[in-house]
């Protein structure tokens, strides 16, 4: 298990071209091995402008080294106040090479999930660029409501998308631990991306599936949308996951936008969607708040070990 960065209650970033206007963030991370695992193969990095959680697979130290490779390379890439998608992708390519060196003939496969968010500025407006590979997740809490931003790269998610099972049934399906994309396994990582405009009071939750498989969305919403600080929320999420069974490693990162500048007059989310469209075949959703990018392509399925 690798933890990079420290929890903080106040971090300010000046917004380029907006004299005197700043973004203020607070964040906290928590992790636990859980009740059934002997090793913690999760890792996380909280090093603005990049935040990420990685859930390693491959057994014992191999999975730990895989998740370490991702967060270490992402931390190395966190050199400025903002980071675009190419920075994330270069870090994941380097991590893939690191993981290939870790893997040897004794391992059937070594890899990791990678999910997170980076600060971006587009047309003078601040955004979260959320990225995902695998079945770790990013949730958004705002105005007392919770939404899942990322879409799992998993066999059961494909069954849900095809209308063959419900989302509730997916959590208990026998194939729920088989993912369709990962970092490692001698293949280039293919992340999906979403853009979220920064707004004061919004919170992001980055988590491994050790949380999402123990707590349903209603319980996560209750905790994440509560009055606790980011540190209190992160701690409670992990404790509640352990109380619910703690069958896997549990890792969470909670980020709050304490303050964000108001959009400049005339600035519209639609303009950002138009810019993003030039790099993607996906269209922005109707509200313009999230922009799904790079849809899932065929990939070899990888199974997360149960032991």
Quote the Cα angle for 156-160-166, to 5°: 105
Per-residue pLDDT averaged across 55-71, rounded?
A: 86
State yes or no: pLDDT of 294 exceeds 50: no
**Residue with more model confidence, 113 or 303:** 113
DSSP structure string for 16-84: TTSTT-EEEEEEEEEEE--SS-SS--EEEEEETTEEEEEEEESSHHHHHHHHHHHHHHHHHH--SS---
**Joined tokens for residue 174:** 């026998």
Read off the pLDDT of residues 223-266 as tens digits, 9 standing for 90 and up: 999 999 999 999 999 999 999 999 999 999 999 999 999 876 55
Q: Which CATH topology does 2-266 take?
A: Phosphatase 2c; domain 1 (3.60.40)
Read off the pLDDT of residues 159-214 as tens digits, 9 standing for 90 and up: 888 888 887 777 778 777 788 999 998 888 999 999 999 999 999 999 999 999 99
**Residue with more model confidence, 286 or 161:** 161
**Joined tokens for residue 282:** 């996906």
Domain spans, the chain? 2-266
Cβ atoms < 10 Å from Cβ of 278: 6
Per-residue pLDDT averaged across 83-99, rounded?
A: 95
Cβ atoms < 10 Å from Cβ of 25: 25
State yes or no: pLDDT of 113 exceeds 70: yes
Q: Look up the pTM and report it.
A: 0.86
Residue 44 is predicted with a pLDDT of 98
How far is it, in rounded angstroms, from Cα 131 to Cα 97?
Answer: 20
First and final C-alpha spacing in the chain: 16
């Amino acid at each position: 298990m690798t933890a990079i960065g420290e929890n903080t209650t106040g971090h300010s970033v000046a917004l380029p071209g907006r004299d005197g206007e700043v973004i203020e963030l607070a964040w906290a991370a928590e992790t636990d091995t859980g009740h059934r695992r002997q090793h913690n193969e999760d890792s996380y990095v909280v090093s603005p402008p990049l935040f990420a959680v990685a859930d390693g697979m491959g057994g014992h130290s191999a999975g730990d080294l895989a998740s370490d490779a991702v967060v270490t390379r992402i931390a190395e890439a966190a050199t400025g106040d903002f980071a675009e998608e190419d920075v994330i992708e270069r870090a994941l390519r380097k991590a893939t090479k690191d993981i290939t060196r870790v893997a040897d003939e004794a391992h059937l496969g070594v890899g990791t999930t990678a999910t997170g968010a980076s600060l971006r500025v587009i047309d003078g407006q601040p955004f979260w660029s959320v990225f995902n590979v695998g079945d770790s997740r990013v949730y958004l809490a705002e105005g007392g409501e919770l939404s899942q931003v990322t879409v799992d790269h998993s066999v059961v998610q494909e069954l849900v998308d095809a209308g063959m099972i419900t989302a509730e049934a997916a959590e208990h399906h026998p194939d729920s631990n088989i993912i369709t994309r990962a970092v490692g396994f001698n293949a280039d990582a293919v992340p999906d991306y979403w853009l979220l405009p920064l707004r004061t009071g919004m919170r992001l939750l980055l988590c491994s599936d050790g949380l999402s498989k123990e707590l349903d969305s209603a319980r996560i919403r209750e905790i994440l949308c509560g009055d606790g600080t980011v540190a209190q929320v992160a701690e409670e999420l992990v404790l509640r996951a352990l109380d619910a069974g703690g069958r896997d490693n549990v890792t969470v990162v909670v980020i709050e936008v304490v303050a964000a500048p108001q959009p400049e007059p005339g600035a519209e989310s639609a303009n950002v969607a138009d810019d993003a469209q030039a790099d993607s075949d996906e269209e922005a959703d109707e509200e313009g708040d999230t922009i799904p990018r790079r849809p899932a392509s065929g990939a070899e399925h990888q199974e997360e070990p149960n032991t």
